[in-house]
Amino acid sequence: MCGIIGYTGKKDALDFLLDSMELLEYRGYDSAGIALTEERSADNSSQETKGVPRIMKCTGRVSELRKLCHEEKLSGSCGIGHTRWSTHGKVTVENAHPHRFGRVTLVHNGIIENAPALIEKYDLEGRLVSETDSEVAAAVLDHFYRKDPLEAIRKMTLKLKGTFGFAILFEDIPGKIFSVRNVSPIVVAGTEEAKILSSDVAAIVPFTNRYFVIPELSVAVLSKEDIELYDMAGEAVEIDWLTVDWDIHHSDKGGYPFYMEKEIMEQPRVIGETINAYVKEGKPDFGKEGIQDEILADCKRICIIACGTALHAGLVAKSLIQAMIGIHVDVVMASEFMYNDPVVDKETLVLAISQSGETIDTLEALKFARSCGSPTIAIVNVKGSSIAMAAEHVIYTLAGMEIAVASTKAYTTQLAVLYLLTARMALARKLWPQEKLGEYMKELLRVPEVIEGILARKEEIHHLADTMLNARDVFMIGRGLDYSILLEGSLKLKEVSYIHSEAYASGELKHGTIALITEETPVIAVVTQDKLKDKELSNIREVQARGAKVILLIKEEKEEQCENYWKIFYLPVMQDEFMVMPTSVVLQLIAYYVSADKGLDVDKPRNLAKVVTVE
């Protein structure tokens, strides 16, 4: 999940590459590097040099690289850049990209699984300066390069096993960038000024809104004048252009200290926009997405595949669909899906949920499900992404660009789509009279304003966060939907504050984990489901009896049961099944404030990346 950028054009490439790399840093930020060619002459015309690249790279953030490049007065009108999330090889300058071998310089996103075999086959032992699989790929490409770049790229890709997205410079072809991919995403765009490529749309948005995704195993050739696309046989391929529908001005922090806060605050708007995009005459409608009622009416069961936060959205969908539709729903970690002999067939509707649309675990699971004959619907935030393209149907969330590694608005817009899909399924199966649908839709359409009310109380929530700043462990307990809500809340706290947190089904606690509850252990308890309230309150008393300090999130109408709590936050009242999104926003803010008050880099937590394109 590294960030890749390339530029060839009329202006100097340096600042464009560095600025874009900063936009892509959320994909990986343990080291960064850049390669520039074509020194500019004094009269600012492009002087074709040998195309020998000047390479600058460092560990740490792009800001460090920027300093080095300006100190060294790096310049050139054609170049590639890379921000790294290390997979092969430690975080060192040598392992940072770009990698140069012979006449080839490249940056890479993905994993070459047969790198050791290639080292042996091409006698590379002792000839490499890094520990990376990417440098091995550069060596293999250089091995095949005999003045025909397309032929060399074709031969190289035939030897590689694994995933890759490459941006490549050849020394004797100055001014041109070549790119080929397999699974790892690469998008390309062009204007009169320049032609650019990137590992994701975030770096395209400030430059232009028209782009295309390089089809797998096709080769894009970017020159100052043109963009060409070829298949592996060297035949020209038609370009399928897409348009970014994000507002370019949304790609900055909007005055907030971190993207995460901005994106939390955007939720009422983007949830409303997502709902309205798929409601027609008061009913959920996915006709524009080609999703006919038969697909929702005929399936005998549903299997949801996703990772992380998207998986947690799937758990909420399971509760909704099983309760309202009465069919069985499995929710499976995409990374486990194929390795547990999944029983999916043409009667199983498979939903793949993903913000980035590039999570390879989810993508590979989706492809497997399709191979089993299952109808598939992807719920994705990034238009034209691999998962969107791999599914039979796709429903886009309209969260806009989500930059913070910790997913917030993507999660709640995924939920918005899942609430709508559940209602559409009920209609398709003729389960709901018009009146019930009307009540359901009315409550769903209230969610944005209810969340507005939560956001208006953010200082109150900030005080809840104060209680956890120095905690070593934080437990979160609830049952049913409350448990699903807390699984997501716990992930948020873990990934941005580094505090060990565990969400626990509160009824399960007494079967072992309660042994970990000691005096002063902070426990967040969520009570929003009437049918589970008494049992949840009883489980809370069990941890209180062992000294836990309980922070209770409960519907404001339940005040009578609330005593002996460390802190209480009264949640606005919605029908039980709609309490998920407002409550999740409270937990998002708690995690955000704990991280920010600990002085951490909220948007780029250690060891993480926004898009996980390695298995």
Residues lying near ligand AGP in the complex (CB under 6 A) = 307-310, 354-356, 359, 362, 405-407, 495, 611-612
**Beta strand 177-182 with 164-170: parallel, antiparallel or unpaired?**
antiparallel
Peptide bond into 98 cis (omega under 30): yes
Burial class (CB in 10 A: 0-12, 13-18, 19+), 66: buried
> Dmax over Cα atoms in the chain, in whole Å?
80
- How far apart (Å, rounded) are the C-alpha atoms in residues 541 and 10? 69
Please, what is the minimum distance in Å from the beta carbon of residue 403 to ligand AGP? Answer: 11
- Asked if 30 and 95 touch (Cβ cutoff 8 Å), the reply is no
DSSP three-state, residue 328: strand
Hey, how many other C-beta atoms are within 10 angstroms of the C-beta on 473?
15
Please, what is the minimum distance in Å from the beta carbon of residue 305 to ligand AGP? Answer: 10
Catalytic residue among 2, 58, 69, 299: 2
Alpha-carbon dihedral 105, 172, 49, 11, rounded to 10 degrees? -60
- How far apart (Å, rounded) are the C-alpha atoms in residues 137 and 479? 50
Write phi, then psi, for 6 (nearest 5 degrees). -145, 145
**Nearer Cβ to ligand AGP, position 362 or 412?**
362
**Nearer Cβ to ligand AGP, position 141 or 310?**
310
**Nearer Cβ to ligand AGP, position 3 or 53?**
3
Q: CA 178, 181, 184, 189 torsion: positive or negative? A: positive
Q: Catalytic annotation on 610?
A: yes
Please, what is the minimum distance in Å from the beta carbon of residue 333 to ligand AGP? Answer: 10
Write phi, then psi, for 286 (nearest 5 degrees). -115, 25
Please, what is the minimum distance in Å from the beta carbon of residue 354 to ligand AGP? Answer: 3
Please, what is the minimum distance in Å from the beta carbon of residue 363 to ligand AGP? Answer: 9
Burial class (CB in 10 A: 0-12, 13-18, 19+), 142: buried
Q: Cα–Cα–Cα angle for 282, 455, 466, nearest 5°?
A: 145
Task: Identify the helix (H) or strand (E) that includes residue 588.
Answer: helix 580-597
Q: CA 534, 539, 540, 546 torsion: positive or negative? A: positive
- How far apart (Å, rounded) are the C-alpha atoms in residues 459 and 431? 43
DSSP three-state, residue 55: strand
Closest residue to ligand AGP using C-beta atoms: 308
Please, what is the minimum distance in Å from the beta carbon of residue 238 to ligand AGP? Answer: 29
Catalytic residue among 195, 318, 409, 610: 610
**Nearer Cβ to ligand AGP, position 140 or 404?**
404
**Nearer Cβ to ligand AGP, position 190 or 605?**
605
Amino acid type, 513: T
Q: CA 398, 399, 400, 403 torsion: positive or negative? A: negative
Q: Catalytic annotation on 372?
A: no
**Which residue from 422, 377, 436, 395 is spatially nearest to 284, judged by alpha carbons?**
422
- How far apart (Å, rounded) are the C-alpha atoms in residues 221 and 150? 9
**Nearer Cβ to ligand AGP, position 83 or 95?**
83
Please, what is the minimum distance in Å from the beta carbon of residue 335 to ligand AGP? Answer: 10
- How far apart (Å, rounded) are the C-alpha atoms in residues 402 and 355? 8
DSSP, residue by residue, 2-34: -EEEEEEESS-SHHHHHHHHHHHGGG--SEEEE
Q: Cα–Cα–Cα angle for 567, 568, 574, nearest 5°?
A: 160
Name 84's Cβ contacts closer than 8 Å, sequence gap at least 6: 2, 28, 29, 30, 31, 32, 33, 91, 95, 96, 97
Name 205's Cβ contacts closer than 8 Å, sequence gap at least 6: 244, 246, 248, 251, 401
Half-sphere exposure of 434 (CA within 13 A, CB side): 2
**Nearer Cβ to ligand AGP, position 596 or 612?**
612
Please, what is the minimum distance in Å from the beta carbon of residue 56 to ligand AGP? Answer: 30
**Nearer Cβ to ligand AGP, position 39 or 495?**
495
Please, what is the minimum distance in Å from the beta carbon of residue 570 to ligand AGP? Answer: 26
Token pair belonging to 392: 């039979």
**Nearer Cβ to ligand AGP, position 171 or 358?**
358
- Asked if 107 and 53 touch (Cβ cutoff 8 Å), the reply is no
Please, what is the minimum distance in Å from the beta carbon of residue 448 to ligand AGP? Answer: 21
**Nearer Cβ to ligand AGP, position 95 or 362?**
362
**Nearer Cβ to ligand AGP, position 324 or 612?**
612
**Which residues are part of the catalytic machinery?**
2, 610
